[in-house]
Structure 1
């Protein structure tokens, strides 16, 4: 995944508005020690850094962190794995994970680590996509990819922790006291269906697989996608909702 393409295409449309909602769901962070896990290019950490006492962003992709460091020097950018956080117990007051937990090899281990590094009473806020059917543009793309022998399962991967009951069970088993769950609806706008496809092909985990397909196959996919999403088009291009759970939890005070 190209960090520059990710920052250019996906952050403004999806992850910046979601970060704003995530911070609002978490509550105030002024004077707090903040951790952003699976931070990517750091939009959540960068947003929190404006008021937090200290902000740390962690990601296992060095290229993402390199770009993040160029974008904001206020944040401490740390390479690492969510399942083995390189921090002492009780190092943070507030933690975030925006659309990253579903990619952890062991989500329960990652949550246990987040609980460990939070101070008693510390808060965790997660953003996890709702079922892919509630993001019709991505659902259509997954179906079209399947139809043409593309990586439809890879398109569905970001949505695999969409069941709130499972997330609640994971949080409880990891030592958290689950709090509130709300739904954030983003209006995802793209200049055209072709541009939507091109941005996903450039900036998402789909990129390597799509590059292996012939130009003819990719063009056929775009044509099919235009027909499938015809009712989502207007004079400004493509518009569809993208729904995400915002889940808060707290480390109990013992």
Structure 2
């Protein structure tokens, strides 16, 4: 897919997914969120830039940790940033600024103490460029923490992309699992000049209590939302049935327990 078209698809898709994203994924992503926050180790008074902040699943916590410091949250989706701003206001957090921009061209000339990107790199046409932009935005000695989904074979929900791709004209997320390969994320960070790079891998279980919860997370609250919105009722029904069939092996008496994997890498700008 052409890079400009991919960015357009991502922006429109996440605008559509914004209203369902947190309800579908907040609890499921908690292990990766907690690990990334621990690795970032944001201290009071530090300045933080976040790429692909979405609705602010980690932004609000980072802002609390930064205290007298500040957070610049960037995302390609204006609707997701609007939800983040509402949540920040409700929490009484005044140290968050939001900017709508592509992570491969961060709209800032400032230099920050910490850079984070939580599960956003997989959607970018040029993830190496996004990592380079995070480096550019850091002061010398600044820290970076990035998380991505792991290997396709370790993510029991991965059939989703093929199911959607079979019903649309082009790949929805052609390189989604690329950064999840062993050493891929750490290697790309090292190539962009980061040192002391450490890559960790964690296995999780995604818990969907009902068919409806599993389908909502897959089709409404994630990266295929734009393609799915264009399906007619018959196409939606066939996609639902096929997806549930692919995760049927993970169904038990309390719903679906679907395996997943995350990769978290940290580094430092010399």
TM-score (norm 1): 0.87
Q: Residue 65 of structure 2 is aligned with which of 51, 63, 66?
A: 51
Q: Provide the rounded CA distance (Å) in 1 between the counterparts of 2:41 and 2:79.
A: 30
Does 2:116 match 1:96? yes
Quick one: distance in 1 between partners of 2:100 and 2:235? 37
Distance, in Å, in 1 between the alignment partners of 2:264 and 2:35 is 8
Distance 2:216 2:188 in 1: 35
- Structure 2: which 5+ runs fail to align? 1-13
For residues 2-26 of structure 1, the C-alpha deviation after alignment (integer angstroms, 9 at most, x for no partner) is 3121122223322x44221111122
Q: CA RMSD of the aligned region, Å?
A: 2.3
Please, what TM-score do these two structures have when normalized by structure 2?
Answer: 0.82
The whole-number CA distance in structure 1 between the counterparts of 2:115 and 2:168 is: 36
Alignment of 1:49-198 (within 5 A): 49-52=63-66, 53-73=69-89, 74=93, 75-89=96-110, 91-137=111-157, 139-145=158-164, 149=167, 153-154=171-172, 157-198=175-216
Q: Relative to structure 1, is the Cα distance of residues 151 and 185 closer, same or farther in structure 2, using a 3 angstrom cutoff?
A: farther
2:8 match:
none
Higher mean C-alpha displacement, 162-171 vs 232-241: 162-171
Q: Tell me, yes or no, if the aligned pair for 1:191 and 1:237 is still in contact at 8 Å.
A: yes
User: Which range moved further: 80-89 or 120-129?
Assistant: 80-89
Could you report, residue by residue, the CA deviation over 1:209-245 in whole angstroms, capped at 9, with x for unpaired residues? 2233332333233333333322211222111121010
CA deviation vs aligned residue, 1:55-108 (integer Å, no higher than 9, x gap): 22111221111110000142211222222223235x211110011122223222
Q: For residues 209 and 31 of structure 1, what CA distance do their matches in structure 2 show?
A: 42
> How far has the Cα of 1:126 moved from its partner?
0.6
Q: Indicate how the Cα distance of structure 1 residues 28 and 225 shifts in structure 2: closer, same or farther if over 3 A, else same.
A: same
C-alpha offsets along residues 93-128 of structure 1, whole Å, 9 cap, x if unaligned?
111001112222322222222112212111101101
Unpaired stretches in structure 1, ≥5 consecutive residues: none
For residues 211 and 160 of structure 1, what CA distance do their matches in structure 2 show? 26
Q: C-alpha offsets along residues 127-146 of structure 1, whole Å, 9 cap, x if unaligned?
A: 01111211112x23335446
